[in-house]
A = this chain, B = another copy of it.
């Protein structure tokens, strides 16, 4: 049966190809990934030419320098992508890993093993590198991938998906395992969100607006990634050097990413001791500060922070500062404003450290480290699909294991109930 609807027919081809991928060996999958890496290196001129069309269109539409930069592929970046694919080759294959197993009293043996999801859907914006990242991770974990990379990167994504499909075919695997649906436009994205039975899990990557739309509209199970209103709490007993280093690093190391800190909470005692220094170091790194009454009383000329300050993911060199009277007040502020991504306490107090770890309900809760360590690479996962801020299935940095489901294998000898 071929589906008369071209969109569903394409999803069906991905599903059939994914089924064959589920049982191929790790060696075969690694060979496909190596073919992709090699093709990225040998196809620089073609890819750059297609990418130039997207860049020209983007410039014409005035999409801004930041977006244009994200959109750009050049030789250095393509070789970087090839290197990233080879990192995925080096990772252990999650498929077949036995998670639990036992022999029941009646002699039946049960084993819970990791299996691929089937087909992973991804919706993202103007980031052709994500096309390679997601495809590589999906393939290594035995999944097909249906990608909606957005109109702004349509030419770049098309050439990259063609390259992946040819690489798969070149090692005897089904090229249909990776598909782009960019040609179906916005309608394609909407249909992808409702393609139950074709898509097993959908991962949105991008702006808070994009993620929220996918979460609201999708009937396919979604893994919500990304948005981070991240807090650093400098406790009464914090070491001044350590606090200064962690606050500045968390805010300024790479302000545009989700694990960058947005709000600084400072215990009243620590504020008296070191807030001017913390503020000065942030300002010297170019951070525009705002603060509550107590913060403004000890810092000259910073703007007034309000409810919107605490509820905003700036993704820029801006930071709100609030002085709190206690650990409880810090935890309460975080419970109210956090997106449950990452929070860090700087403290020398054992009991406060343990309470913060236990009571803050975020994907990653830290003591005495920069929030920038919430990252699949830093955690040793080798590659990252994104950072889940939901509680179902995956929470925090997602690696290959998070792109798998499980099944139970039950072996008996004629048992009945």
Chain A residues with a Cβ under 8 A of chain B: 19, 22-23, 102, 104, 108, 110, 112, 115, 117-118, 196, 200-201, 215-216, 219, 221-223, 239, 241-242, 245-246, 249-250, 253, 335, 344, 353, 357-359, 361-370, 372-374, 378-380, 390-393, 395-397, 405-417
Contact = CB atoms under 8 A, between A and B. Distances in A.
Contacts of A414: 239, 241-242, 245-246, 368-369
Contacts of A239: 414
A405 B391 contact: yes
Contact of A359 (B23, B366, B370, B379): B23
Contacts of A221: 221-222, 390-392
15 contacts: A23-B358, A221-B390, A221-B392, A223-B392, A241-B414, A362-B407, A363-B408, A365-B410, A367-B410, A368-B412, A369-B411, A369-B414, A378-B417, A395-B405, A395-B407
Given A23-B359, A239-B414, 5 more contacts: A22-B361, A110-B379, A242-B414, A246-B416, A357-B409
Dominant SS among interface residues on chain A: mixed
A413 B102 CA distance: 40
Given A104-B378, A410-B369, A410-B373, A405 B392 contact: yes
Contact of A361 (B118, B366, B372): B118
A366 B416 CA distance: 12
Nearest to A1: B336
Nearest to A368: B412
A406 B373 CA distance: 18
Contact of A415 (B118, B196, B373, B374): B373
A1 to B, nearest CB: 10
Given A23-B359, A108-B369, A408-B365, A200 B249 contact: no
Contacts of A108: 369, 373
Nearest to A391: B405
A413 B368 contact: yes
B369 A407 contact: no
Contacts of A372: 416-417
A333 to B, nearest CB: 14
Contacts of A245: 414, 416
Given A370-B416, A395-B405, A416-B246, A410 B364 contact: yes
Contacts of A110: 379
A407 B413 contact: no
A201 B392 contact: yes
Contact of A117 (B368, B370, B391, B406): B391
A102 B249 CA distance: 23
Contacts of A23: 358-359
Contact of A118 (B118, B344, B391, B411): B391
Given A108-B373, A372-B417, A364 B395 contact: no
A393 to B, nearest CB: 4
A364 B410 CA distance: 7
A416 B248 CA distance: 9
Contact of A416 (B253, B379, B410, B417): B253
Report which residue of A344, A368, A407 has the largest number of chain B beta carbons within 10 angstroms of its beta carbon. Answer: A407
Contacts of A391: 117-118, 200-201, 221, 405
Given A358-B23, A392-B405, A368 B417 contact: no
Contacts of A363: 407-408
Nearest to A110: B379
A416 B249 contact: yes
B115 A361 contact: yes
Contacts of A379: 104, 110, 408
Contacts of A364: 407-408, 410
